[in-house]
Amino acid sequence: MKVSLNDLVKKFPASDSIAVNHVSLEINDGELMVFLGPSGCGKTTTMRMIAGLEMPDSGQIKIGERDVTFLAPKDRRVAMVFQNFSMYPSMTVFENIAFPLQVLKLSKAEIQQQVNDAAAIVGIGHLLKRSFRQVSGGEAQRVALARAMVRRPEVFLMDEPLSSLDAKLRVQLRTEIKRLHQETRSTIVFVTHDQEEAMSLGDKIVVMSKGEIQQMGTPQDVFFKPDNVFVANFVGTPSMNIFDATIQRADGGLCVDLGGLTQPVPAHFPSVSAGQAVKWGVRPEAIKFSAAPSASAVPGQVELIESLGSRQEVFVRAAGKLFSVILDALLPVRIGQSAHLRFEPDSIHLFDAQSGLSLASKPQPKNS
Ligand code: ADP
Ligand code: MG
């Protein structure tokens, strides 16, 4: 079912700041939409308003064509999966999953069928007779997913459901949520503060900060075409290299003066003007690294190396700045060696220093 949020505003009386500030967005039927942002940016509040657990001060929420803004949670056909799910430890896995159905007074056969189906999809069919107390953390999370599924919600709301699990299990379960989504084609809203989780799960990502939407788009959009400095910084690990710079006149054209280093203005920034204060950015993965000098490369020296498993993060001091560069782990690099960095025009980002907005000429991402 499609979910539309129209100009939602929520301020808690106890708080000075606005928790959700004029948020509008559309989640298409069958889409897995991730809300991504730092703690306190309004993700949970937005989700609780969709669930009906919190009332907006103003704005409208639609599920499908129904205006649900003031409907009770039980009348919205949404199911929520939280980080701290409430289960009954003394009951079996089966009884826990069946619980919402028992309330609906379905027949025994119907309940059996629905529980079996849901358990099969999340891969816990063999655990149904076990006491909930005896399942592991990852299995418990699957039980919670199955219990949400038997209610056949039109929309799944998942608020950081994986954040209490260890790293390996998180990755495994997020693959299963992705599979669950592919099999059921249900609409899922998934909240996380973990940008890697957001990138791997989302059909689309909404990046939020301080109650406001910063950008909405595909994982590729927010990674390769950040609309502003906040998104550029928040998405991607390690973070984008970003330096203060000024646009200067040079050879009848313009260049970016980074202080001790000038770089050309790439063609996709047609509207910058001389004297403009900007932020110049390049992702660590996009920098070309060479031990040997070349004409357009900036000379520097390797200062620090951190292993990232299959890759390594190499910190290079060049033109007085420290650049983070991601390289294949097998490339031999040592501290103190000379390094030559090249920045390809296509991988350069420029943001206005005052507004923080991207200066790239590109179509704005649509809300659908
Ligand atoms: P997130 O889920 O992104 O971490 P929340 O939606 O929980 O953020 O919170 C957004 C803002 O609203 C925060 O500043 C938080 O302190 C505030 N807030 C959330 N719930 C309440 C509440 N019940 N009373 C007062 N302030 C709240
Ligand atoms: Mg939260």
Q: Are residues 106 and 247 in the same domain?
A: no
| Residue with CA at minimum distance from ligand 1 atom 15 | 40
Of 198, 218, 233, which residue is a domain's last?
A: 233
pLDDT exceeds 60 at position 1: yes
165 - beta bridge partners? none
User: What is the CATH classification number for the domain harbouring 283?
Assistant: 2.40.50.140
Q: Are residues 343 and 309 in the same domain?
A: yes
Is 206 among the domain residues?
yes
Is 104 among the domain residues?
yes
User: Residues lining ligand 1, CB < 6 A?
Assistant: 12, 14-15, 17, 19, 37, 39-45
**Hey, which of 11, 16, 45 would you mutate to test ligand 1's pocket, going by the most ligand atoms within 8 Å of its Cβ?**
45
Q: Are residues 204 and 266 in the same domain?
A: no
Ligand nearest to the CA of 211: 1
Is 367 among the domain residues?
no
pLDDT exceeds 60 at position 364: no
Q: Are residues 258 and 167 in the same domain?
A: no
Q: Are residues 147 and 54 in the same domain?
A: yes
Percent of the chain with pLDDT over 90: 71
User: What is the CATH classification number for the domain harbouring 219?
Assistant: 3.40.50.300
Helix 167-184 vs helix 108-121: crossing angle, to nearest 10: 120
Q: Ligand 1 mean position to 256 CA, how many Å? A: 40
Q: Are residues 246 and 212 in the same domain?
A: no
**Minimum-distance ligand 1 atom for the alpha carbon of 37:** 3
Q: Are residues 49 and 167 in the same domain?
A: yes
pLDDT score, position 86: 73
Q: Are residues 281 and 229 in the same domain?
A: no
Structure tokens of 323?
């650049």
**Cis geometry, peptide bond prior to residue 238 (ω within 30 degrees of 0):** yes
What's the rounded Cα separation, in Å, for the pair 77 and 55?
17
pTM of the model: 0.88
Average pLDDT score over the chain:
92
**Hey, which of 9, 12, 82 would you mutate to test ligand 1's pocket, going by the most ligand atoms within 8 Å of its Cβ?**
12
Q: Are residues 222 and 321 in the same domain?
A: no
Q: Are residues 13 and 135 in the same domain?
A: yes
Q: Ligand 1 mean position to 55 CA, how many Å? A: 13
**Minimum-distance ligand 1 atom for the alpha carbon of 13:** 25
* Domains identified in the chain, total number: 2
Is 363 among the domain residues?
no
**Minimum-distance ligand 1 atom for the alpha carbon of 42:** 6
Please give the DSSP secondary-structure letter assigned to residue 363: P
Is 365 among the domain residues?
no
Q: Are residues 198 and 257 in the same domain?
A: no
pLDDT tens digit string along 303-332? 999 999 999 999 999 999 999 999 999 999
Confidence of residue 179 (pLDDT cuts 50, 70, 90): confident
Is 299 among the domain residues?
yes
Ligand nearest to the CA of 41: 1
Bigger pLDDT: 208 vs 117: 208
Of 233, 249, 280, which residue is a domain's last?
A: 233
Ligand nearest to the CA of 35: 1
Decide: 55 and 46 in contact? Cβ < 8 Å: no
Decide: 177 and 201 in contact? Cβ < 8 Å: yes
Range name among 44-53, 112-121, 185-194, 202-211 with the lowest pLDDT average = 112-121
Residue (of 223, 228, 81, 50) closest to 161 by Cα position? 81
**Minimum-distance ligand 1 atom for the alpha carbon of 159:** 2
Decide: 183 and 14 in contact? Cβ < 8 Å: no
DSSP 33-97: EEEE-STTSSHHHHHHHHHTSS--SEEEEEETTEE-TTS-GGGTTEEEEESS----TTSBHHHHH
Of 203, 233, 263, which residue is a domain's last?
A: 233
- For residue 99, what are the CA distances in angstroms to 107, 130, 176, 268, 365? 13, 15, 23, 57, 42
Is 20 among the domain residues?
yes
pLDDT tens digit string along 70-112? 999 888 888 887 666 678 889 999 999 998 888 778 899 999 9
Intra-chain end-to-end CA distance of the chain, in Å: 14
Q: Ligand 1 mean position to 31 CA, how many Å? A: 26
Is 368 among the domain residues?
no
Structure tokens of 318?
């060049």
Q: Are residues 259 and 210 in the same domain?
A: no
Bigger pLDDT: 300 vs 176: 300
The domain of 16 spans 3-233
